[in-house]
Amino acid sequence: MAGRALRPSRHLSLNPPLRRDDKVPVRSIRFASLLVLAAGIPWLGAQPPDRSPRVPSAVLTVDARKPGAAINPAMWGVFFEDINFAADGGLWAELVKNRSFEFPNRLQGWFEVRRKHARGTMTIQDEKPAIPENPHYLRLQSQAPDEGYGVGNEGFRGMGVKAGEALRLTLWARRGAAPVLLRATLRGAENRILAGGQVRVDSPVWAHFELQLDPAATDPGGRLELTLEGPGQVDLDAVSLMPVAAKHGFRPDLMRLLADMKPGFVRFPGGCVVEGHDLANRYQWKQTVGPVDARRPMPNRWLDNLAGEGRFAADYQQSFQLGFFEFFQLCADLGAEPLPVLSCGMACQFETGEMVPLDRLEPFIQDALDLIEFANGAPSSRWGKLRAAMGHAAPFGLKFLAVGNEQWGPEYLDRFSRFEQAIKAKHPQIQIIGSAGPWMGGADFDTLWAGLRARKADLVDEHYYAPPAWFFNNAHRYDAYPRTGPKVFAGEYAAHPARPAPGAPRPNSWEAALSEAAFMTGLERNADVVRLASYAPLLASVDAWQWSPNLIWFDSLQSAPTPSYWVQHLFSGNRASRVLPVELALAPSATATAGLYTTAALDEATREVVLKVVNAGHRPSDLAVRLQGFQSLAGKGRLTVLSAGLADENPVGAPPKVAPATSEVDIPGPEFTRTLPPQSLTILRLPLVKEIP
Ligand code: AHR
């Protein structure tokens, strides 16, 4: 029967309205009560599909005449942190690791190349450097070149090289006593040559070189070799290999996935990387802007703190090629609001907890004020001038600033006050975000909320990482939140299923994603309270991860949207402008429908009602929809269904098991029924035509 298929065909009819005698007696429950009921029946996890006879189970009434709270158009965003090699080796498309020879192990990522009987030396030098801020460079001396003496770079767990996708090699070089020929070769498995070219280095002073390499074959484990063709000496620094197609430096496939999500904002650059192990290791935005070659790398905070998972990654440094200018550019490219997080002078409280004394907090506050000028100031201002010199004369339009990441205690509230007063005095339009700490409730959480309310924070950033059951059972969390005072920023959340084995990543399963969808219906229904929300973390390398689950996994060549990605994608892609009141009536015997979670909203721009319904039950559910206030609908609606087995995942390199199916549907009128597949998210866009006078 149409409408019951898990994957609807391209054109479907919705079930006709329930006939009067179809109706079973119902209990009328306003949506808030429904969710309390849903919460009262704990989520039981995976169960086999129930094939027992079905009953019409629920009636959903939506009053389209009474649009309520405005939904923030930027509500659904993303949270980018340099964790799991998300920046270098991830979104930042650079293929060369340790390109400036500034890692603590100066030769990390590099290896000697001796073709046939070649002999020579490779040494690290710092005399008369090309880049004074990053003074180390590599000196190659070839005594017996044979088929080539030189150096190779392994990339980030291999360089992803694609046939026909041109790469741009750039480097600084200077010759020794005589000019030399420097050969660049891209090699793949079994030493196969994928691309090559050469440059003549004839300058005794540092000069910049550029060469295009055109790979003839695809290889996930490519490496770059730079070899001397004859005897002689060359100094090399700031070696870079980037896909020509990487606009503004971003890896195209990952950028496409992000752009497709239409994120309303990007929270960056973390997370714990903002705080650092100690204050010296905190993220300092000023060290990430200006000429790329002059940015000094720093050990990544996730290098050795693996939160009980992932692998030790001695090569995990932050090159800051993806720095604050690039983050703002990323936001501009995505059409998303920038939402930077700054250190509040407190290092990670799970680690050193180092704190700058209050009487020495001023430079931290100045960093925040300068950042606002960097983003929004006129090109004539000190920091606006730097932004313009970097290629963006127009302001980036910064509206939000988060003070600290996961902080707690009275020390945080004291520091927050100082930031808040200084920022609001100069930039009253900036919305300041305070931290509710790392917990989802409890005494510290309550104290932070009370303190931030008293200090008039604009938004409070809440984080939740919990099993799927928590998300199902907390779909009502915000129904009872105060309607005045600071708004909520659900800044980091993800359902964390159990690990299948010790050390294995937690699965990015459909069960996890479904529970997030149920929770997100509660965020949207409470859009007057919850203004912003972002899943966490965003990106992860399958070869070098420290945290799971994540929204998008990738290897050197491919990327895979997880089931959670699709949930975010569908909520973000089906945003509307005003919340609509919904009421759900359940059949008295319909315990199964307690697994229904719903939100309805009006898209004033397109004049559509947008329904989002999660059926968390393990059997289909017949939902009768009653749209009040409109005589007729346009006849055609848009239906999107996301449904799968609870354990299904979308691993990198395998055909996806979880993907949305969208189709056009005939809508018989303002009353119809829809069969919701078991364990599904259904989104219906219903075009309104004629209002009842
Ligand atoms: O998202 C991963 C980490 O989780 C973030 O860095 C931190 O804010 C939280 O504890």
Domain ranges in the chain with CATH number 2.60.40.1180: 44-69+577-691
In sequence order, the 6+-apart residues with CB closer than 8 A to the CB of 222 are 95, 155, 158, 159, 160, 161, 186, 187, 188, 194, 215
Question: What integer is the mean pLDDT of 613-631?
Answer: 90
Question: What integer is the mean pLDDT of 525-547?
Answer: 96
Q: Phi, psi at residue 187, to the nearest 5°?
A: -115, 150
Does ligand 1 lie within 6 Å of residue 327's CB atom?
A: no
| Residue among 413, 438, 283 at smallest CA distance from 350 | 438
Domain ranges in the chain with CATH number 2.60.120.260: 110-243
> How far does CA 685 lie from the centroid of its chain?
26
Ligand 1 centroid to residue 116 C-alpha, Å: 49
Residue pair 416/438 in contact (Cβ under 8 Å)? The answer is: no
Nearest CA to ligand 1 atom 5: 271
Q: Does 660 have pLDDT greater than 90?
A: yes
Nearest CA to ligand 1 atom 3: 271
3-class DSSP string for 71-134 = CCCCCEEEECCCCCCCCECCCECCCCCCCCCCCCCCCCCEEEEECCCCEEEEEEECCCCCCCCC
Does ligand 1 lie within 6 Å of residue 406's CB atom?
A: yes
Nearest CA to ligand 1 atom 4: 271
Sign of CA dihedral 616, 477, 439, 460: positive
Residue pair 313/546 in contact (Cβ under 8 Å)? The answer is: yes
Ligand 1 centroid to residue 465 C-alpha, Å: 9
Ligand 1 centroid to residue 83 C-alpha, Å: 9
Q: 647: which DSSP letter?
A: T
E strand segments, 177-334: 180-187, 193-201, 207-213, 219-228, 232-243, 265-268, 298-299, 317-318
Does ligand 1 lie within 6 Å of residue 547's CB atom?
A: yes
Does ligand 1 lie within 6 Å of residue 269's CB atom?
A: no
Nearest CA to ligand 1 atom 1: 537
pLDDT value of position 7: 23
Residue pair 152/189 in contact (Cβ under 8 Å)? The answer is: no
Top-confidence residue, 207 or 23: 207
Q: 492: part of which helix (H) or strand (E)?
A: strand 487-495
In angstroms, the CA 563 to CA 511 distance is 9
Ligand 1 centroid to residue 142 C-alpha, Å: 47
In angstroms, the CA 596 to CA 617 distance is 7
Q: Phi, psi at residue 515, to the nearest 5°?
A: -65, -35
Does ligand 1 lie within 6 Å of residue 271's CB atom?
A: yes
Whole-number average pLDDT of the chain? 90
Does ligand 1 lie within 6 Å of residue 120's CB atom?
A: no
Residue-wise pLDDT for 136-149, tens only, equals 999 999 998 888 99
The model's confidence at residue 309, banded by pLDDT at 50, 70 and 90, is: low
Ligand 1 centroid to residue 272 C-alpha, Å: 6
44-69+577-691 belongs to which CATH class? Answer: mainly beta
In angstroms, the CA 684 to CA 361 distance is 51
pLDDT value of position 3: 25
Nearest CA to ligand 1 atom 8: 271
* Overall pTM > 0.75: yes
Peptide bond into 507 cis (omega under 30): no
Ligand 1 pocket test, pick from 406, 439, 496, 539 with the greatest ligand atom count within 8 Å of Cβ, gives: 406
Does ligand 1 lie within 6 Å of residue 348's CB atom?
A: no
Residue pair 289/324 in contact (Cβ under 8 Å)? The answer is: yes
Ligand 1 centroid to residue 489 C-alpha, Å: 15
DSSP letters spanning 335-370: T-EEEEEE--SB--TTTT--B--GGG-HHHHHHHHH
| Residue among 409, 392, 497, 397 at smallest CA distance from 445 | 409
The helix/strand/coil state of 412 is helix
In angstroms, the CA 348 to CA 26 distance is 52
Q: Does 13 have pLDDT greater than 80?
A: no
Residue-wise pLDDT for 338-388, tens only, equals 999 999 999 999 999 999 999 999 999 999 999 999 999 999 999 999 999
Nearest ligand 1 atom, CA 79: 1
Q: 675: part of which helix (H) or strand (E)?
A: strand 671-676
In angstroms, the CA 369 to CA 422 distance is 8
In angstroms, the CA 168 to CA 211 distance is 6
Nearest CA to ligand 1 atom 2: 537
Nearest ligand 1 atom, CA 270: 6
* Weakest-pLDDT range from 87-96, 217-226, 235-244, 580-589: 580-589
Nearest ligand 1 atom, CA 273: 6
Question: What integer is the mean pLDDT of 468-479?
Answer: 96
Ligand 1 centroid to residue 406 C-alpha, Å: 8
Does ligand 1 lie within 6 Å of residue 270's CB atom?
A: yes
pLDDT value of position 57: 77
Question: What integer is the mean pLDDT of 146-153?
Answer: 95
Span between the terminal Cα atoms of the chain, in Å: 36
Does ligand 1 lie within 6 Å of residue 537's CB atom?
A: yes
> How far does CA 582 lie from the centroid of its chain?
31
Ligand 1 pocket test, pick from 78, 79, 81, 275 with the greatest ligand atom count within 8 Å of Cβ, gives: 81
Does ligand 1 lie within 6 Å of residue 474's CB atom?
A: no
Measured CA to CA in angstroms, residue 58 lies from 500, 525, 625 at distances of 36, 19, 9
pLDDT value of position 631: 67
Does ligand 1 lie within 6 Å of residue 438's CB atom?
A: yes
Nearest ligand 1 atom, CA 405: 8
Nearest ligand 1 atom, CA 492: 1
Catalytic residue list: 406
pLDDT value of position 86: 98
Residue-wise pLDDT for 605-617, tens only, equals 999 999 999 999 9
In sequence order, the 6+-apart residues with CB closer than 8 A to the CB of 593 are 57, 58, 586, 587, 617, 621
Q: Does 8 have pLDDT greater than 70?
A: no
Question: What integer is the mean pLDDT of 206-222?
Answer: 98
Nearest CA to ligand 1 atom 9: 271
* Weakest-pLDDT range from 170-174, 226-230, 312-316: 312-316
Question: What integer is the mean pLDDT of 209-234?
Answer: 97
- How many CB atoms sit inside 10 A of residue 410's CB? 10
The model's confidence at residue 19, banded by pLDDT at 50, 70 and 90, is: very low
Nearest ligand 1 atom, CA 494: 1
Tell me which fold the domain 110-243 belongs to: Jelly Rolls (2.60.120)
Residue-wise pLDDT for 431-462, tens only, equals 999 999 999 999 999 999 999 999 999 999 99
Task: Kindly give the pairing relationship between strand 56-63 and strand 621-628.
Answer: parallel
The model's confidence at residue 310, banded by pLDDT at 50, 70 and 90, is: low
3-state helix, strand, coil split of the chain in percent (to 5) is 20, 35, 45
Residue-wise pLDDT for 380-428, tens only, equals 999 999 999 999 999 999 999 999 999 999 999 999 999 999 999 999 9
Nearest CA to ligand 1 atom 6: 271
DSSP-assigned beta bridge partners for residue 121: 141
Read off the tokens for 645. 């087995």
Nearest ligand 1 atom, CA 536: 1
Residue-wise pLDDT for 50-67, tens only, equals 444 454 578 999 998 889
Does ligand 1 lie within 6 Å of residue 86's CB atom?
A: no
Q: Does 12 have pLDDT greater than 70?
A: no
Q: Does 592 have pLDDT greater than 60?
A: no
Ligand 1 centroid to residue 10 C-alpha, Å: 40
Does ligand 1 lie within 6 Å of residue 549's CB atom?
A: no
What is the torsion angle, in degrees rounded to the nearest 10, for the CA atoms of residue 301, residue 304, residue 309 and residue 312?
130
pLDDT value of position 18: 33
Ligand 1 centroid to residue 663 C-alpha, Å: 37
Ligand 1 centroid to residue 661 C-alpha, Å: 32
Nearest ligand 1 atom, CA 537: 1
The model's confidence at residue 635, banded by pLDDT at 50, 70 and 90, is: confident
Q: Does 514 have pLDDT greater than 60?
A: yes
Ligand 1 centroid to residue 273 C-alpha, Å: 9
Ligand 1 centroid to residue 80 C-alpha, Å: 10
In angstroms, the CA 288 to CA 299 distance is 14
Q: How many distinct helices (H) and strands (E) make up the chain?
A: 11, 37
Q: 324: which DSSP letter?
A: H
pLDDT value of position 632: 64
DSSP-assigned beta bridge partners for residue 30: 583
Q: Does 49 have pLDDT greater than 90?
A: no
Nearest CA to ligand 1 atom 7: 271
Most confidently modeled range among 102-106, 616-620, 663-667: 102-106
Does ligand 1 lie within 6 Å of residue 538's CB atom?
A: no
Q: Phi, psi at residue 34, to the nearest 5°?
A: -55, -45
Ligand 1 pocket test, pick from 465, 539, 551, 552 with the greatest ligand atom count within 8 Å of Cβ, gives: 465
